[in-house]
Amino acid sequence: MTGPVNLRREIHRNPERSGCETGTAQRLLRFFEPLRPDQVIEGLGGAGIAFVFSGKEAGPTILLRSELDALPIHEVNEFEHRSLHDGTAHKCGHDGHMAILAAVGEKLSIKRPACGRVVLLYQPAEETGQGAAAVIADEKFARIKPDYCFALHNLPGFPVGEIVVRNGTFACASRGMAIRLTGKTAHAAQPETGVSPAKAMCVLIAELSELPSAMDFGSELAFATVVGSRLGDQAFGTAPGEAEIWVTLRSETDETMARIVSHAEKRTRQLAADHGLEFEITYQDIFAATINSDRAVDVIRRATGDGPLSVAEQPFRWSEDFGCFASVARCAMFGLGAGKASAELHNPDYDFPDELISLGADIFLGILEQAGETQRP
């Protein structure tokens, strides 16, 4: 396992942010060259790259997906493989996910799948929610035609190596909503001559925070987090004419997200009208829910046999763009425990535990065997 562990550390030292992962893709290309994949597809949806290993007989195409991108977070760790780029680091463990697929590639280079094809896909720009959709929209992806897609994410706070599965929603849908309210500035001595968005802003902040619970989605997870706001400037002679509110919406299903969005937009429209304001709403970081197919989850369950497996009672609250692959194949994502003592994801002291590389690779190899059996012609 020295090859994949060294690869992980080399990638950790040289992180690249979403949409800028060309150097990382080149490193993977160099790693896979001696493994002699049957096909290499470069430039998928940006820096994406796929390595294909083919069996002799016809059979299903099974895609395993890893992410390529690091985060705009400064690493505080002092170990030898710390990030060489100030302000950018692998704080979600995507370096480890890449190494796991590299370890699977090493095995496949020695023993090709009995039938069908295995596609090891390295996808760009997961953290911004744009990469999976870009890969799927790329015409080079149309040649792949996967029957199944699988991915894992390491999970700090869970015992090392524990496999966490869930039927239905695995990770929530989310989106960032930015609301701009525009009135008219005035002299602070005569605020009545202007139109201040202050009151409407306060009502909206209070309402948006309560909105999903007020709408009653039953037991389904749905919530909104006001992440920031701005009203006017620190100019004591001026009454404000502009306000912004930034809120992150989350839900268990895309249908519920659509209802929350529609209600939030309606209330913004009403409040703006009541207070004589113009408004503008924009969205970013849009993630669909990651919804696991029952058949794909069954494959994971069979592959893990008697291994440590737990079922997540609720979907994870974070979001993942892996959900996009459900539009092209049966999909399932599972969690892999990174240890109870591990720093949390996206924290400046986080680091992917190397011991998960062989554990993750073994689970994927089991999945390939089981998924191959399921569809053997």
Q: Which tokens hold the place of 14? A: 């040289």
* Least gap, CB of 94 to Zn ion (angstroms): 6
Q: What CA–CA distance (Å, rounded) separates 326 from 121?
A: 15
Cβ nearer to Zn ion, comparing 92 with 357: 92
- Whose CA is closest to 291, among 336, 345, 327? 327
**Count of chain residues binding Zn ion (CB under 5 A):** 1
Cβ nearer to Zn ion, comparing 67 with 242: 67
Cβ nearer to Zn ion, comparing 37 with 129: 129
By CB under 5 A, what part of segment 271-290 binds Zn ion? none
For Zn ion, the nearest residue by Cβ is 92
x/- mask, Zn ion, residues 34-53, rule CB under 5 A, reads --------------------
Cβ nearer to Zn ion, comparing 92 with 367: 92
* Least gap, CB of 93 to Zn ion (angstroms): 6
Cβ nearer to Zn ion, comparing 90 with 275: 90
* Least gap, CB of 92 to Zn ion (angstroms): 3
* Dihedral, 208, 214, 215, 216 alpha carbons, nearest 10: 140
* Least gap, CB of 123 to Zn ion (angstroms): 11
Which residue stretch of 84-92, 182-190, 200-208, 349-357 sits at the interface with Zn ion (rule: CB under 5 A)? 84-92
Q: What CA–CA distance (Å, rounded) separates 339 from 96?
A: 14
Q: What CA–CA distance (Å, rounded) separates 376 from 57?
A: 9
Cβ nearer to Zn ion, comparing 274 with 344: 344
* Least gap, CB of 39 to Zn ion (angstroms): 27
* Least gap, CB of 287 to Zn ion (angstroms): 11
Cβ nearer to Zn ion, comparing 92 with 249: 92
Examine residue 70 and tell whether it contacts Zn ion (CB under 5 A).
no
CA 129, 132, 134 angle in degrees (round to 5)?
A: 95
Cβ nearer to Zn ion, comparing 243 with 356: 356
* Least gap, CB of 91 to Zn ion (angstroms): 7
CA 96, 97, 103 angle in degrees (round to 5)?
A: 85
By CB under 5 A, what part of segment 86-105 binds Zn ion? 92
Which residue stretch of 85-93, 158-166, 260-268, 275-283 sits at the interface with Zn ion (rule: CB under 5 A)? 85-93
By CB under 5 A, what part of segment 141-160 binds Zn ion? none
Q: Using CB under 5 A, list all residues that contact Zn ion.
A: 92
